[in-house]
Amino acid sequence: MTDASFQAETTAKAAESGANATENFLERSRAAFDGVVVDHARVSRLAGRAIQALNDIIVEEKLTYPEYNAVKAWLIKVGEDGEWPLFLDVWLEHSVEEVASEHRKGSKGTIEGPYYVPDAPEHAWDGTISMRENEPGDPLLFSGQVRAVDGTPLAGARIELWHADDLGFYSQFAPGLPEWNLRGVFIANEDGKYAFNTVRPAPYQIPTEGACGVLIEAAGWHAWRPAHLHLKVSAPGYELITTQLYFPGDPHNGDDIASAVKPELVLDPHPRTDGEGEVVVYDFVLDPE
């Protein structure tokens, strides 16, 4: 990594990252919600309960006008900073994911987070993710098999991978990084097996220069996420798994600000026999649609 790219990457600001996350989410949502019929009764129930819950808190906690105005100003700033995707994905998505996947018998999932970008470059089942020459970080060989809950190997399954770099930044959300750095799609072979080479990501703090950082500081919370790999695993006729996988020993596995860590998602890495980094084996089991 050159000094110039390092400087550019490390000057990433919350507002820039938030704006990118917001635009990315809106772009994907436009197609997803096109032609959707609104269930007015459902909207009324959910919106009514949310509004009532907030009113109950105001009354129970005896919110003052100065506090109310501070909340109002903060909510406006969340929008101005483009941080609604960050706020919602960090503090609410884990509950949405829990509800959405409670019926599953296969592998555990967890939140997508705000930094997913579709249409990453595609690689063979045993390829190397897109990365810079001399990408910083310890090499990581990740392999496994995708199969159905009945044990059937799922040939041609898609394994989408994206993660932060050795400094904790994501491509397309920080300056100085190539567009598809540490983002890729791997296609499982006829036995449902896959293997890819990447680097071990770093733990990182969510952006704290914007509105979410104001909340974190005011509440006396920390902003750390443990090191993790993001994956989406899919095959025709089976439910998509969106997940994150974590590394043992990370001090924030137990108090992840996004509440996304589950015991089943902690990896078991071992040193490679050639001394070049670590190796991990992890299988995915998909439920039928």
Mean per-residue pLDDT, 68-95: 93
pLDDT in tens, 219-264: 999 999 999 999 999 999 999 999 999 999 999 999 999 999 999 9
Higher pLDDT, 257 or 275: 257
Higher pLDDT, 19 or 248: 248
Mean per-residue pLDDT, 73-97: 93
Mean per-residue pLDDT, 27-36: 67
Residue 19: band (very low, low, confident or very high) from pLDDT cuts 50, 70, 90: low
pLDDT at 12: 57
Mean pLDDT of all residues belonging to the chain: 91
pLDDT in tens, 195-220: 999 999 999 999 898 999 999 999 99
Residue ranges and CATH numbers for the domains of the chain are 11-29+39-286 (2.60.130.10)
Instruction: Extract long-range pairs of 4-12: CB within 8 Å, 24+ residues apart.
Output: 4/176, 5/176, 5/177, 6/167, 6/176, 7/176, 8/175, 8/176, 9/165, 9/167, 9/169, 9/174, 9/175, 9/176, 9/177, 10/167, 10/169, 11/175, 12/169, 12/173, 12/174, 12/175, 12/207
Residue 10, pLDDT above cutoff 90: no
pLDDT at 236: 97
pLDDT at 176: 87
Mean per-residue pLDDT, 255-279: 95
Residue 18, pLDDT above cutoff 90: no
